[in-house]
Amino acid sequence: MNEISVGIILLLGALFILIASIGLIRFKDILSRMHATTKATSFGILLLLIAVSLYFGTYIVTLKSILIIIFVYLTAPLAAHSVAKSFIDNNNKTD
């Protein structure tokens, strides 16, 4: 039973990453695409790391997972901000 729930969380995380890449294909302009990638991708990585740390269940894997989660959630908005700012400065359309 425990293994099945780990597998379901794993599949859910992979599906969120798939949603991010479908959004990258479907949205019309780049700032909307960035909405899809910066939210759904970090949530998918979060679910995959939860699945890995539930599966192994040792202290060191859980500690590494928490470190990766904190790092991803601190840097994903920063990377999106940096790309968006360079795009805005190049194209100069802020309404």
Partner 1 sequence: MDNYFDILVYSSMMVLIISLILAFIRLIKGPSISDRVVSLDLIASIIMGMILVYTILIKDAIYVDIVIVISLISFIGTVAISTYLKQKMVEK
Partner 2 sequence: MKYLKKPYYIVLFMFYYITKLIQSNIVIAFDILTPKMHIKPGFIWLPLETKSKLGLLLLSNLISMTPGTLSIDYDDNKNSLLVHVLYNQENVINDLRAIQKRILKLIA
43 binds partner 1 (CB under 8 A): no
Sign of CA dihedral 39, 44, 45, 47: positive
Instruction: Give the pair of three-digit tokens for residue 57.
Output: 């269940």
Element (H, E) at 25: helix 2-26
Cα-Cα-Cα-Cα dihedral sign, residues 12, 14, 51, 43: negative
Count of residues engaged in binding partner 1, rule: CB under 8 A: 50
The residue whose two tokens read 């928490």 is 66
Q: Of the candidates 29, 59, 60, 90, which one interacts with partner 2 according to CB under 8 A?
A: 29
Binding site for partner 1 (CB under 8 A): 3-4, 6-8, 10-11, 13-15, 17-18, 20-22, 24-25, 30, 33-34, 37, 41-42, 44-45, 48-49, 51-52, 55-56, 58, 60-61, 64-65, 67-68, 71-72, 75, 78-79, 82-83, 85-87, 89-90
